[in-house]
Amino acid sequence: MELSSVLLGKSGLRVSNACLGTMTFGTEWGYGATAEESKLLFERFLAMGGNFFDTANRYTEGSSERILGALIREFSVRDEVVVATKFSLRSGEGKPNDGGNHRKNMLQSLHGSLQRLGTDYVDVFYLHAWDFSIDPEELMFNLNMLVQSGKVLHIALSDVPAWVFSACMSIARERHYALPVALQGEYSLLTRDMERDMIPAAAHYQVPVLAWGTLAGGAFSGKYLKGGSGRVPENSLRRSDRANALTQTVVQEAEKLGVEPICLALAWTLKAPGHVIPIVGARNASQLEQTLQAMHLDIPTEVLSALDAASAIPYGFPHDFLRGDLIRQLQFGAQHPQFPLPGLYRQSL
């Protein structure tokens, strides 16, 4: 099973249509893969045609970047792979400027990541999470400075409100700064909130969505329904009554297709408007290969409808108001069905 190559938005950068998440490279957090297991995952992902890797300064206390960098050097593939890392989250304790969106933390985080990765530059550098402390103008000036330095090739945003993403895109366009090339956020059957504003905004700007949490931490495997154990605690929203009911639907629909539930759950995310690139993590190489079968899974209409219905969310105001028959009639008259809404929303009213 081979992955295909796609463009990362308008950057022209060629990446695999799935990204390997390396948050589990390292065992410092009480779970994850050893260096030896990580090597098998890395090697298998390369063999499947993968070249896109996601990490961060915070992951496994820095081990994720160190292990990933060592593997890139061992396999001599720096020119072939695309490495994305992030700044914003602290890397230590008791340091007032170790963490946040500001320039000092941005620079020291980047320098630390470059050292751990053992490289002169990163391909994609994310703001990891919005902290509400700086203006988008300041952020974009600082990120553009990194691109001009040559230590960062492309910039991106993760876990930010849609208004922040839109403001950053507008500022970059107006001032001829480097444009964000990706928008990352949690997106799955269980967490569809990105559909309200973030996915439509990304589609409008022709920026891909890098979706994390697509498998709900492994809950969609159905193992917790059978009393299995794992890293998702019992009080997590991923194991709530709603999550369990949704997982049961995923398991039932997957059985009809003869595929693994996690494969079906991942394939569902790819049907969102715009361009979604899933970030996929795994404990071992066989699990990775099994999960990525989703990239070639064609979901029948009736199965897709069942999953959509089981996971539906209220879009709320102004979305439901603007999409309603009354306001559409008042705007377009009785012929409003002849003026369909743009395909920015996944579910209809």
pLDDT tens readout for residues 155-164: 999 999 999 9
- Residue whose pair of structure tokens reads 């998440």 in the numeric block: 21
Q: Which tokens sit at 113?
A: 């990541």
Is residue 112 within 8 Å of 118, Cβ to Cβ? no
Position 1 scores a pLDDT of 67
Q: What is the CATH number of domain 5-313?
A: 3.20.20.100
- What are the boundaries of each domain within the chain? 5-313, 317-349
Is residue 154 within 8 Å of 11, Cβ to Cβ? yes
**Cα 123 from Cα 78, distance rounded (Å):** 10
Phi, psi of 336 (to 5 degrees): -60, -30
Neighbouring residues of 139: CB distance < 8 A, sequence distance ≥ 6: 101, 127, 168
Q: Which tokens sit at 268?
A: 């569902």
CA dihedral 181, 183, 188, 192 (to 10 degrees): -130
Residue 162: count other Cβ atoms within 10 Å of its Cβ.
17
Q: Identify whether 59 is a catalytic site residue.
A: yes
pLDDT of the chain along its 349 residues, tens only? 699 999 999 999 999 999 999 999 999 998 889 999 999 999 999 999 999 999 999 999 999 999 999 999 999 999 999 999 999 999 877 789 999 999 999 999 999 999 999 999 999 999 999 999 999 999 999 999 999 999 999 999 999 999 999 999 999 999 999 999 999 999 999 999 999 999 999 999 999 999 999 999 888 988 888 777 677 777 777 888 898 999 999 999 999 999 999 999 999 999 998 999 999 998 889 999 999 999 999 999 999 999 999 999 999 999 999 999 999 999 999 888 888 888 888 877 6
Phi, psi of 5 (to 5 degrees): -100, 135
Whole-prediction pTM = 0.94
Position 337 scores a pLDDT of 87
Is residue 189 within 8 Å of 213, Cβ to Cβ? no
Is residue 10 within 8 Å of 206, Cβ to Cβ? yes
Angle at 276 between CA 160 and CA 102, to 5 degrees: 25
Which candidate in 31, 59, 315, 345 is catalytic?
59
What SS3 string covers the chain?
Answer: CCCCEEECCCCCCEEECCEEECCCECCCCCCCECHHHHHHHHHHHHHCCCCEEECCCCHHHHHHHHHHHHHHHHCCCCCCCEEEEEECCCCCCCCCCCCCCCHHHHHHHHHHHHHHHCCCCEEEEEECCCCCCCCHHHHHHHHHHHHHHCCEEEEEEECCCHHHHHHHHHHHHHHCCCCEEEEEEECCCCCCHHHCCHHHHHHHCCCCEEEECCCHHHHHHCHHHHCCCCCCCCCCHHHCHHHHHHHHHHHHHHHHHCCCHHHHHHHHHCCCCCCEEEEECCCCHHHHHHHHHHHHCCCCHHHHHHHHHHHCCCCCCCHHHHHCHHHHHHHHHHHHHHCCCCCCCCCCC
Is residue 279 within 8 Å of 19, Cβ to Cβ? yes
